[in-house]
Structures are given as structure tokens and as C-alpha cells.
Amino acid sequence: TLTRFFTIHFLLPFIVVAMVMIHLLFLHQTGSNNPLGINSNTDKIPFHPYFSFKDIMGFIMLLMSLTILTSLNPYYLGDPDNF
């Protein structure tokens, strides 16, 4: 029973990531507000050059802010019981 619990908790994040990737794939193929499934490529912005650049820049800004936070004050987010 404990082995099954561990297996579920190990595999569940991979299943969730796969479902998110499938959802993003379908979302960017048909569009988010397209209940009929009609092809409307004329008013869509391509995902790769625009949104992937935006997502990468957001990730870099988050990483830089966390790096600056840990460089300037490394114990700021630490638990006081550790001291």
C-alpha cells in the first residue's frame, strides 16, 4: 500500500504535465474562444515567436529577482527555527 502511494505520487506530476501540454497544444491550435471549431487563422497571433519570447522573459525576470534576493539576503526566506 505504501509502494502504491509512492508510485501514485511519483507518476502524478508527470501525468499532470502531459495533460497541461496537451491542453496548450489544443488551445493554440483552435483558439480559446472557438466553440464551433471553425478555422480562424486570420486574427490569431502565432504562439512561437511572440508568446514563447514573453514567457521566457518572464521566467528570466523571476529567476533574476530570486537570484538577487538570495544574493543580498540569503536568510530572508529561511525559517527562524533553523538558527
41-74 pLDDT per residue, tens: 666 677 778 888 988 999 999 999 999 999 999 9
Exposure string of 47-74, with b = 16+ CB inside 10 Å and e = fewer, is eeeeeeeeeeeeeeeeeeeeeeeeeeee
Query: 20 lies in a domain?
Result: yes
Q: Does the pLDDT at position 28 exceed 80?
A: no
Q: Is residue 19 part of a domain?
A: yes
Residue 49, domain extent: 44-78
**Prediction pTM value:** 0.52
The structural domain count of the chain equals: 2
Q: Tell me, yes or no, whether 37 lies in a domain.
A: no
Q: Is residue 39 part of a domain?
A: no
48 within a domain of the structure (yes/no): yes
